[in-house]
Amino acid sequence: MTDPGQLRDLEGQQYIVLRPTDAVMREFDAVQDAARRRLDDTVRYPGAAHVTLRGLYEPERTEVVREVVREWAAKQHPIDLVFEAVDAFPAPWQIVIARLGRTPGLLHAYASLTAALDRTDLRRIGELALEDWTFHLSAVYAKTLSPDDWERLAASTHHDYKTPATETVREVEFVTYSNAAEHREVFPLGTP
């Protein structure tokens, strides 16, 4: 990510994310490319496709967060991602998303990460209970659209896939934001 405004907004935060690289990524790219042709730069787009498992705000304890993520990742198995639908988070968020299926591996990853973080006093951002969480990749940040334009976009992009794109992710990324830059570190899943 290089957008100065987004980097400023994320300063001091850390994220634990999965990054698709195969079939889910290709379908996500197709959805985002269609949105770019339609909307151009009237909206914002994520710097890179990712599935957020958790966000934290620990600018002074990044090493502590990193160690929790490393230990957690070593105990995980590869995670299946299933791109079920193009959907949207409504106003006030106005985000077009790639909604993912609640696969056993994804559910276990989220629940076990919650358990690992519960053993700490780390400050989490926007955390929801597993039953309330929608696994997704954000495709378009459309908060700048008028209500009518947003409703048209959300309605016209929404669809379920009869044959969803699927792939298996074998690593997790620990992403930090500091000094107006994004920093990424990769941990393989299931490797001590």
CATH number for position 105: 3.90.1140.10
pLDDT for position 5: 64
Q: Does a structural domain hold residue 133?
A: yes
In degrees, rounded to 5, the angle at the alpha carbon of residue 124 between the alpha carbons of residues 120 and 128 is 110
User: What is the model's pTM?
Assistant: 0.89
Q: Distance between alpha carbon 110 and the CA centroid of its chain, in Å? A: 12
What percent helix, strand, coil does the chain show, rounded to 5? 35, 35, 30
Q: Does a structural domain hold residue 119?
A: yes
- For 28-69, the pLDDT digits (tens) are 999 999 999 988 888 888 878 999 999 999 989 999 999 999
Structural domain for 168, as ranges: 4-185
Q: Does a structural domain hold residue 192?
A: no
Report the alpha-carbon distance of residue 148 to residue 182 in Å, rounded: 34
Question: What 3-state class would DSSP assign to 54?
Answer: strand
Count of domains observed in the chain = 1
pLDDT for position 179: 76
- Which residues, at least 6 apart from 63, have a Cβ–Cβ distance to it below 8 Å? none
- Segment holding 183, helix H or strand E: strand 181-188
Q: Does a structural domain hold residue 177?
A: yes
Q: Does a structural domain hold residue 21?
A: yes
